[in-house]
Amino acid sequence: MGEPRHREISRELLTEIANGKYGPGGRLPSEAQLCQKFKVSRPTVGRALRELQEQGLIDRRVGSGTFVRASRSSSPESANRQLGLLVPGLGKIEIFDIICGELAGLARVHDFGILWGGNARPRTDADMTTQEAEGLADLFIEKGVSGVFFAPFEHTADRDPANRRIVEKFRDAGVPLILIDRDLGAFPQRTPYDLVGIDNFAGGYFLAEHLIKLGARKLNFVTRPLSAATVQSRIAGALGALTAQGVHAMDPFVQVGDPSDLAFVRRVVSGRRVDAVICTNDLTAAQFMQSLVRLKVGVPRSLRVVGFDDVRYATLLPVQLTTMQQPCREIAVAALQAMRERIAEPALPPRSILLTPRLIVRESCGAYLR
């Protein structure tokens, strides 16, 4: 199951608008022309256009057609507006690539420029150190950015103090900050910053509930050391599903280690008769499944495995991966809207904007076993 068709259409139209194909006030093709172009029904096209209208990107005029909303870039108050992206893992974590790409397109049509790691062009920040990130924060402040989107560090020993120092720099400089995907502190604590991501508790709950309905009773949750607070939320959700279904949680329920380490994976599956494993994300699930192949443990017949994110390679694995799909485009839309509101009203109380993930069922969970 992929992205809904109307969303693919709105994404393509957004890209065309961002690239200046129609220009400010320009007229889009008619609904009939769009139906022919995308080979879909009129209601599907209508839904795609409605999404763009709700985002303030187009105007639909009865009897006249659909037009790109006129740009405000010529007004003095909108001159030189730039937003910073401080996203360690960009170029390595697929959902961040998608979210940031969508943010760039949306920002452009709303008269904002985007700085990708201090540059106007995308760059790979997969190996950004915490020291480099703090330097980049100083650079954003020096350039006078209107706001910053920040995805806090994880999987590094100095992540907590570094994350705090970074957000305090922006706070002290009065720069609006939107956290993407994750908060700084441990679940369920919240820091006083806007957060846009998904309902990770619900995601963990849905995955565990799905496995239980398929007959799994002995579940483990596999994660890496020093993972983000989102993982703790997914674990809490999975435990909530076990309790709701009257299933006793294994002790230990959470297994922390490297999914590529055969000794670790052997400890998870040997002698404990685990029948299902929830992995913290799709990368962990893919590496865990590779280790299972080397240990001659069949998926899903001997062990059910599920992941989280629905990245592109989830369908390219030898056994296609059941996972929770993150609505990346909607996250980008919500993040930019939150930023615009925060810039306009700095005194707004901190908000958590959590979108609902979607269960994508494939072979690895054993749903199609005879």
Cβ pair 175, 148 in contact under 8 A: yes
In the numeric block, which tokens belong to residue 233?
A: 């939320």
Cβ pair 120, 114 in contact under 8 A: yes
CATH-assigned architecture of domain 200-326+359-365? 3-Layer(aba) Sandwich (3.40)
> Fold match between 81-198+329-355 and 200-326+359-365?
yes
In sequence order, the 6+-apart residues with CB closer than 8 A to the CB of 148 are: 83, 84, 85, 86, 137, 140, 170, 175, 176, 177, 178
Q: What is the DSSP string of 262-287?
A: HHHHHHHHSSS---EEEESSHHHHHH
Q: Sign of the C-alpha dihedral, residues 143, 144, 148, 152?
A: positive
pTM over 0.85: no
Give SS3 for 247: coil
Q: Taking the CB of residue 188, how many other CB atoms lie within 10 A of it?
A: 11
Find out whether the peptide bond into 188 is cis, omega within 30 degrees of 0.
Answer: yes
Domain at 81-198+329-355, CATH from 3.40.50.720, 3.40.50.300, 3.90.1640.10, 3.40.50.2300? 3.40.50.2300
Tens-level pLDDT at each residue, the chain (370 residues): 456 788 888 878 877 776 667 777 788 899 999 999 999 999 999 998 988 888 777 888 888 889 887 655 444 344 458 999 999 888 778 899 889 988 988 888 888 989 986 555 555 555 789 999 999 999 999 999 999 999 999 888 899 999 999 999 999 999 999 999 999 988 888 899 999 999 999 999 999 999 999 999 999 999 999 888 899 999 999 999 999 999 999 999 999 999 999 999 999 998 778 999 999 999 999 999 999 999 999 999 999 999 999 998 899 999 999 999 999 989 999 999 999 999 999 999 999 999 999 999 999 999 998 7
**Bridge-partner residues for 256, per DSSP?**
223
- Domain range list for the chain: 5-58, 81-198+329-355, 200-326+359-365
Q: Which fold has domain 5-58?
A: Arc Repressor Mutant, subunit A (1.10.10)
19, 57, 103, 16: which is closest to 336 by C-alpha? 103
Q: What count of Cα atoms within 13 Å lies in the side-chain half-sphere of residue 164? A: 6
As a whole number of Å, the end-to-end CA separation of the chain is 21
